[in-house]
Structures are given as C-alpha cells and as structure tokens.
Amino acid sequence: MSLELYMDLLSAPCRAVYIFARKNGIPFDFQFVDLLKGHHHSREYIKINPLRKLPSLKDGKFVLSESVAILFYLCRKYSAPSHWYPPDLHTRARIDEFMAWQHTAIQLPMNKILWIKLLIPMITGEEVPAEKTEQMLEEVKKSLHLFEEKFLQDRMFITGDQISLADLVALVEMMQPMASNHNIFLNSAKLAEWRMRVELSIGSGLFWEAHERLMKLTEWDCSTLDPVVKERICEFLQKYK
Amino acid sequence: MGLELYLDLLSQPCRAVYIFAKKSGIPFELRAVELLKGQHLSDAFAQVNPLKKVPALKDGDFTLSESVAILLYLTRKYEVPDHWYPQDLQARARVDEYLAWQHTTLRRNCLRALWHKVMLPVFLGEPVSPQMLAATLAELDETLQLLEDKFLQNKAFLAGPGISLADLVAITELMHPMGAGCQVFKGRPKLAAWRQHVEAAVGEELFQEAHEVILKAKDSPPTNPTIKQKLMPGVLAMIQ
C-alpha cells in the first residue's frame, strides 16, 4: 500500500503538500475529498481523520493531519534537498517561526477574504457589510506588511537564496483570495517579485496545475450544495457577519 | 551576553518556554515583559520582537519569536532528552501535528475563555454578554473533547509514552481557563490523569512556580483608562 494523500486543492494547505510531493518526486495516491460536496464530513473520511480536515496523509497504518506536520514528515522520510528545511540552527528556527505564525496571521485572513468576497454572497445570497470587509482588509494589510518586513526583508526567499517550506506555505495561502478576484500582490512590487520567484522555483506548470481548481471556484454551481452542509456553512458564517 | 528569554508568565506560551528551559537546565536571563502594563508595545521591545509579542528569545544577535519555534530551537541547541521531540519519524510527526493543530483551536479557545470570563470584565472593565461567554465556554468544551478523543486517547501522554513538547504546550494552555475559574479537569478523568502525569514529569514545584501568576488572574486590579486604551486594540485582535 503506497502513500495516500487525502486532499482537495481548493485548500491552501493541500496545495502546499501536493506541490511539495510532486516537486520532490514522492509517489502517492491522490485521494480526492471534495470539500464543495462536504465529503470531509463523510463517515468514510471521518474514519481516516476524525478532525474532518484536509490534508491527511496515510502511510500504511500511520495517519497524520496538519499540513506543516505532513511537510516535515515527507521532508524527512524522503530526504528532500536540504534547502526546503535547512539544518542550520538559525535558518531552521526562522522557518519554524514562520510556520507557527502563519496559522493565524496569514492563513486565517486569506481565507476570510475568500469567504467575505465570494463564498458568503454566493452561498447565502447576502453581502457582508462594507465595514466588516474594510476591517478585514486592514488586518490583511498589516499581516502582509509584517511578512515583508520581518520574514522576507531584502532576500530573494524567506531564508535567503533558495526556496524553502516557508515560501511554499506562504505563497499557496496568499493565492487563496485570487479565487474571489482579489490579488494581494498588486499592492507590493516586492511581494509580486517574490511570488514570481517562488512560482518559477516550483515550476510554472506544476504551480498553475495545483491552482486550477481554486481559480475556477467562481464557476461552481452552489445550488448543488448539500442542504445539511449548506446549513452548517451558514452557521459558521455568522462569525463573519 | 548569554541566552535571554523575554517572558510574562501570564502568557501560556511563555509558561511552556519557561518550564522547558528550567526543566532542561538551560541557562538563561529572564527579561520580564509586563503585558498588563503594555510593555510588549514599547519601542525597546520591538527591537527584540517586531511582532510585539511574548515569548521572545535573544541569543547574541539572533532573535526569535513564536513559542513553538523557540521550543524547537532550544531542543536542538541544547540536546535535551529524546522524549521531548523524538528522533523517530512517526513519533516526531505526532508532536508536530499537535503543535500545528493547537494554534487555532485549544490556544484560541483557552485565551478567549480567560479574557471573556475574567480579563475583559475585571481588568479592562469591559462587560462581556452572558451569551458570548456561554458560546466561548461551549467552544472550549468541544476542543477539550477533541484533545481527549483524538490526541490523548488512552495514552499516558499526547504524542506517545513519554512527555513531549506537545504536552507542555497543551498543559500550559489548559491552565489559562483554570486561572479564570473554569474547572476544565472536572468531569474529565482522562484529562485529569494526564495532567497528573505531566505535572509529575515536569516536577510539581516548577509547575506551581510557573503557574503562580495565571492562578491569580482573577484578582487583577482594574486597570486605568490610559493603559486600557493602549491595550484594547491588541487584546481585541488577539481574541477574535
């Protein structure tokens, strides 16, 4: 039984794992768990990951969730080139620091943009009040500013001259709002240039293949959304309104 | 100048770093940063951590924030016993998994429980509606269930047979709502047993010392308007 990765490329953490595995030639079975159909709540999937989140990794009997943990696991098990997670004490610490910070500082806000600008109006038919949107965009601005000032600075990549796990995770997350036609790279030449470097380092083919489903999200016919799932989403959305 | 750790034991991640450094016999200078006085917002501290948060580490010219990163840095630099962050591939992955999961779940809910129940009304003089508090405590409850069912299960510790960084990070989180008077271990014998194991492994004296401040949180005197104004934006951002 080969390595299985349970993913939906709509999710940024899934894209990070997918790109990393493909880029490093790690053989795996892509087990598609359709977020739009609520399959992460299916009995089948709950057996695999009771947290109902994606991505999950299954290596024989060993099941692992959390993309950061999965990336470290794959890095070690398949002896990925050291630039992905350099052994130097300080460099590695900087990656750890970013990986910890990004959960709340980047991933959450980037998803919020997607929800507020696309998914909430699409699913509930209501727009989020402009005030909330403004507030959220201010938050995002602050986070991106911190990202540039503290993590990227004047370097080509977060750790220096080569791409690492930190750049991969950062970029896939910053791509999330693109699905709602919100391009956070427009406001900063520095970020835009870094984005291009990371894309080229990964390989444009692989990069855009991984982002295809995300970029087509506006075409999704949400009338097919399972009513139970829709209800759950509406409850969850109360937080954003 | 040796290793400096910028800490306020009011903060859960600071407690985890403090306990780990002390338990592992890592020599360090404690630099106190008083959160309730807004010292983390000073220009001086921004030199150490531009993210304006604690804990922060300074090792010569090298500065580092984020408790998980700091714990891993100390683990590698000071060659601590293997059980904290095991070499074994799968055992280590379990620790990584917990350390990643907790940011938006247990961490968030324990923080909100403390601030909604005690710190906002008592220290900042900002009332919190009973509905808001009830919702927060319900979310905490759900997270505690996940902690038990998915991470602890029937094991002695979260990630395996021995205490690891995961247990340290988790226990210091759970002491936060305890400081607010939420009896998180009551009616949860599995978690209560795990807590005993963790305290015993860390050492009761060290554990109590690290938690002295948080357990007095309920008695925080109300702050003054100047400090309140200074702290509010950061607090609201932190607990959202």
Q: Identify the structural domains of chain A with CATH numbers, from first to last.
A: 3-80 (3.40.30.10), 89-223 (1.20.1050.10)
pLDDT band at A165 (very low <50, low <70, confident <90, very high): very high
Q: Tell me the pTM.
A: 0.96
For each of the domains in chain B, give its residue range(s) and CATH number, in order of start.
3-83 (3.40.30.10), 85-239 (1.20.1050.10)
Write out pLDDT tens, residues B77-130: 998 999 999 999 999 999 999 999 999 999 999 999 999 999 999 999 999 999
pLDDT of residue A132: 87
What is the DSSP pairing of strand B3-7 with strand B29-32? parallel
Closest by Cα among A68, A56, A63 to A32: A56
The pLDDT of residue B79: 86
Q: CA–CA separation, A195 vs A36, rounded Å?
A: 27
B18-56: b (≥16 Cβ within 10 Å) or e: bbbbbbeebebeebebebbebebeeeebeebbebbbbbb
- Cβ(A105)–Cβ(A150) below 8 Å: no
Calpha distance B68→B91 (Å, rounded): 17
Q: How far is A203 from chain B (nearest CA, A)?
A: 28
Ranges of residues in chain B with a pLDDT under 50 are: none
Whole-number average pLDDT of chain B: 95
- Cβ pairs A/B, distance under 8 A: 82
Percent of chain B topping pLDDT 70: 100
DSSP run (H or E) holding A74: helix A67-77
For A30-40, what is each residue's pLDDT tens digit? 999 999 888 99
Instruction: Please report the residues numbered 156 through 195 in chain B whose beta carbons come closer than 8 angstroms to any beta carbon of chain A.
Output: none
Nearest CA in chain A to B46: A150
Contact criterion met (CB below 8 Å) for A123 and A225: yes
Whether pLDDT at A226 is above 80:
no
Checking A122-128 for CB contacts under 8 A at 24+ apart, the result is A122/A220, A122/A222, A123/A222, A123/A225, A123/A230, A123/A233, A123/A234, A123/A237, A124/A234, A124/A237, A126/A241, A128/A240, A128/A241
Chain A from 104 to 133: CB within 8 A of any B CB: 104, 108
Residue range A132-159: mean pLDDT, rounded: 95
Q: Are strands A29-32 and A4-7 parallel, antiparallel or unpaired?
A: parallel
CA B115/CA B122 separation, integer angstroms: 9
Between CA A8 and CA B77 the distance in angstroms is 38
According to DSSP, the residues that pair with A30 across neighbouring strands are A5
Q: Which two tokens stand for residue A129?
A: 């009040």
Contact check, Cβ <8 Å, A100/B97: no
Indicate the pLDDT class of residue A241, thresholds 50, 70 and 90. Answer: low
Tell me the shortest Cα–Cα distance from B215 to chain A, in angstroms.
27
pLDDT at B215: 95
pLDDT for res B127? 94
- A218 secondary structure, DSSP code: G
